[in-house]
Amino acid sequence: MKVAFLASDMVEQVELTAPWKAVEQAGWEHELISLKGGEIQAAQHFDKGDTFPVDRKVGDADARDYDALVVPGGVANPDMMRTSSEAVRFVRDFFEQGKPVAVICHGPWMLVEADVVRGRHVTSWPSLKTDIRNAGGLWEDSEVVVDNGLVTSRKPDDLPAFCAKLVEEFREGVHEGQTATTGRTV
């Protein structure tokens, strides 16, 4: 299995590294996809964290080459990415192909921008609640929420449950219900 991690500068480091470790422990490959080549600068809350090498720019990535997607949070990370039509398309493509997706913290902004939350049960950092509801999502204040292959969590404290559920959903593979909720056909 090959998992794409979509992140940019100011990604919350632990929300990148904990799922990355879970994917590695499951024996799967992963690639870091970003808006630019080179490296991205992670954050540890509002302090600088480590840098991570980018494997592929999002404009050069194709969802068909991956089995699943992880979108970590951090306030600035998804806020920057949602302004990129290529990043939004990349996220939407996973839903249109029925592939599992795991998103945490502020990452659901990408789901809102990709127009894939309508009618779905989703959780996030609490400040996204109104955005998710305005996009037609059903926001819940829960540690982890699973809806047809979509795994969402609120914050770093939720990472153990988030990582366990993403591994479980990724193992299940394509979810037919994933494509039905986008209102689009594959």
| CATH number assigned to the domain comprising residue 105 | 3.40.50.880
Asked if residue 147 belongs to a domain, the reply is yes
How do residues 28-62 score in pLDDT, each as one tens digit? 999 999 999 999 999 998 899 999 999 999 999 99
Asked if residue 114 belongs to a domain, the reply is yes
Q: Confidence band (pLDDT; 50, 70, 90) for 176?
A: confident
For residue 115, CA distances in Å to 89, 162, 165 come to 10, 22, 23
Asked if residue 185 belongs to a domain, the reply is no
Which is it for strands 144-147 and 138-139: parallel, antiparallel or unpaired?
unpaired
Q: What number of CA atoms fall less than 13 Å from residue 116's CA on the CB side?
A: 34
Asked if residue 93 belongs to a domain, the reply is yes
Q: Please answer whether residues 101 and 152 qualify as being in contact, where contact means their C-beta atoms are separated by less than 8 angstroms.
A: no
Asked if residue 80 belongs to a domain, the reply is yes
Asked if residue 186 belongs to a domain, the reply is no
How do residues 110-163 score in pLDDT, each as one tens digit? 999 999 999 999 999 999 999 999 999 999 999 999 999 999 999 999 999 999
Asked if residue 122 belongs to a domain, the reply is yes
Task: Examine the pLDDT at 186 and tell me if it is beyond 80.
Answer: no
- Residue 174's pLDDT is 86
How do residues 64-96 score in pLDDT, each as one tens digit? 999 999 999 999 999 999 999 999 999 999 999
Q: How many domains does the chain have?
A: 1
DSSP secondary structure, 112-175, as one string: HHTT--TT-EE---GGGHHHHHHTT-EE---SEEEETTEEEE-SGGGHHHHHHHHHHHHHH---
Report pTM.
Answer: 0.94
Q: Which residues are catalytic?
A: 105-106
For residue 67, CA distances in Å to 40, 42, 53, 141, 172 come to 23, 24, 21, 28, 10
Give the residue numbers spanning the domain of 84: 2-180
Asked if residue 141 belongs to a domain, the reply is yes
Q: Please answer whether residues 181 and 120 qualify as being in contact, where contact means their C-beta atoms are separated by less than 8 angstroms.
A: yes
- Residue 148's pLDDT is 92
